[in-house]
Structure 1
């Protein structure tokens, strides 16, 4: 369990600054919300064209190798009270997760193949059985068809971070909507999904085959990543330099870095470390019992 207190936040030796992309003016669609649907259609068209031109070998559901070795197993609680969010959205989310998990379960990523969450799950429409759940988009939380499937993407990216798969594309949410409430994983390891242009994409650059298993249990969304050969390395993923930053206009941002230690499975020795991601997001709640630093 991650304790969110002053000890979590490492002291800094220099005055903190916001990344340039955060310190800059708000995006055009934030200043003119009526442009948002137009921007969505534009980005969807670009992604469809990119898929057609890519020539990528996409991972699909297919029979798995007879013998496999566990790389990473994880589960996440299905129902959580998030701020003032209505619990009916949480229950609907379970419906959406069940449909999406059935589509991801059994996907095999062979050497040279690429896994795309959007390619595998597809567009979450009412016609396909998806219902209104909570969506996070354009700086706000609201009800929308297919809402909640990001929890499945979060579970997958956490498992991928503990593997030798190469993360090609992963977009975090642009804002932090709720205070930490029983958080198990570090903040900033999640993943945003928007059909079809905001995706989770990983590529298998190894000579081994990976198998994904996902499903819904009584209380948890459950996942497992396996390979057809025994892994030589394991990984430990953690956050560094966690800090809340207050801009001159009063807006607060949360920032950290996600690192992973590389461990030799045979000896148990740490053989390296890798920076996976730098995160910075607008905070949509009032931080309590944590230091907030004014940025210059």
Structure 2
């Protein structure tokens, strides 16, 4: 694993504003003029075969985070899942997280939740916490034949591992609309996404009209914490997945992505 650390750049507020406006307009242009066929059909009729299922807790006690923001996140997740649960991705179609959910606003009922900032700090903002949903969808998609065509990772590792069940770096950060999650269906089968908040869990499923011929095991390699040239620590790893046939025979070992994130906490924690 080779990584050349870039010196952190401090940008002015006007530079950040103009940059956000540029990428927002660029994303709108892509949605309407790229020629991609974006999925928009939602069906209440469940597709027959469950390809992968997963759930994550909606409420976590995080250092220096008001629990009210966590409860607000649950409201935000319910509103967002209502917009996309049941969506059908037909062969040749593309799923866009933000095109389906739309912009979170107070008028739509969204509340202030936790939002991670580019410099590794966090604040509160409308629609905060929706990264949990994009994280879930991305992780589940890695266990299907669907292809992730757009995904962004966090540049900072903000919170220490606490009951982590997934390898570090297997999430997908989101920010309306330019930090999107896009998934392409290059198979010959329809795929259906089911997501809902139930109790204190965010539940998800990928279902299909046909059984899947393969199983997938996602894992990490070369996990390491290194000292940064410009101070602090950097967390690194590479994500792979094993592709197994119906007889549990290894068919392929695919590279997925490489992660490097500045740590905002000390890796040497006392017990």
67 and 198 in structure 1: CA distance in 2 versus 1, 3 angstrom threshold = closer
**Deviation by residue 1:65-107 (Cα, 9 ceiling, x = unmatched):** 6652111000000100122211111111101011111111010
Partner of 1:241: 222
138 and 60 in structure 1: CA distance in 2 versus 1, 3 angstrom threshold = same
Partner of 2:172: 191
Count of aligned residue pairs for this structure pair? 269
Partner of 2:96: 116
Provide structure 1 residue ranges, at least 5 long, that are not aligned to the other structure. 1-15, 291-296
Structure 2 length as normaliser, TM-score?
A: 0.95
- In the TM superposition, residue 56 of structure 1 has moved relative to its aligned partner by 1.4
Partner of 1:87: 67
Partner of 1:45: 25
Identify the match of residue 58 of structure 2 among 78, 89, 107. 78
Is 1:24 equivalent to 2:6 in the alignment?
yes
Partner of 1:280: 260
Q: SS of 1:250's equivalent?
A: coil
Q: How does 1:112-261 map to 2 (within 5 A)?
A: 112-139=92-119, 140-261=121-242
CA distance in 1, matches of 2:45, 2:255: 32
CA distance in 1, matches of 2:23, 2:58: 31
CA distance in 2, matches of 1:79, 1:288: 26
CA distance in 2, matches of 1:213, 1:148: 19
Q: SS of 1:226's equivalent?
A: strand
Contact 1:72-1:159 within 8 A present in 2 as well: yes
Contact 2:42-2:84 within 8 A present in 1 as well: no
Q: Detail structure 1 runs of 4+ shifted over 2 Å in the superposition.
A: 24-27, 30-34, 61-67
- Single out whichever of 234-243 and 58-67 deviates more from structure 2: 58-67
Contact 1:61-1:105 within 8 A present in 2 as well: no
Q: SS of 2:64's equivalent?
A: coil
- In the TM superposition, residue 59 of structure 1 has moved relative to its aligned partner by 1.2
Partner of 1:96: 76
- In the TM superposition, residue 244 of structure 1 has moved relative to its aligned partner by 0.8
- In the TM superposition, residue 289 of structure 1 has moved relative to its aligned partner by 5.6
- Single out whichever of 281-290 and 70-79 deviates more from structure 2: 281-290
